[in-house]
Amino acid sequence: MRFRYIEPMFGFGADQQHVCVPHGADQLLQDMASDLVGTDDLIAIYVPEGTGDVYGAQAMRGKVVDGVRLLPMPDGKTIRDYFYRDWDGSLRWPVGWPCEAVYAPPVEQCPTLRGLVELLHGPESFKPYVARFQKGPFELDGRMAKELEKRFSAFSRLA
C-alpha cells in the first residue's frame, strides 16, 4: 500500500464515501482512477490552510487528514453521480469517485503539509508545491509518498 496522489478537500471524515474534483478535472479524475482502482494504493487528503470557516474544518486546516482508496465504480453509476455542492448550493465539485477511508487519525496527530514539503523540498517550496492544486489532485513524488507512508503507518487502518 502506497500513497500515490494527493487531493485537496475542504474537510473529510472516515464516513465520507467519495472524493470529488473541481470543474475541468474530469480527465484527471479518470486517469487517477485508472491508476488506483483495483490496487491498495491511496490518495492523501489535504485540507488547505485557507479553508474557510463555513466548512467547519478549522482544526484540519493545513493538514493531511486521511488516506483513501478508490473503489470500483458501481454498475450504472458515472463520475457525475458523485459530487459535492458548495456551502451556497453551487456545484463546485461536479464529478467524483467512490472511495473508502483507510486512515483517519485524530486530527491533532495529522502531519501538516507545509512541514512535510519544507522538510523534503526546502524552505520557500510550499507555495509552488500547493499551486498545483489549482488543477486538482496530483501524483506525489517518491520522497513525499514515502514520508506519508512512514507517518501514517503509525495509525490504525480502518479498511
pLDDT score for 16: 87
pLDDT score for 106: 94
Q: What angle do CA 112, 5, 9 make, to 5 degrees?
A: 60
| Cβ neighbours around 54 below 10 Å, total | 10
Average pLDDT, the chain: 94
Find the mean pLDDT for residues 2-19. Answer: 92
pLDDT score for 15: 86
CA distance 137 to 32: 9
Considering the domain delimited by 3-152, tell me its CATH architecture: Roll (3.10)
Does residue 33 have a pLDDT over 90? yes
CA distance 44 to 67: 5
Predicted confidence band at 114 (pLDDT cuts at 50, 70, 90)?
A: very high
CA distance 134 to 128: 11
pLDDT score for 89: 87
64-83 residue pLDDT tens:
999 999 999 999 999 999 98
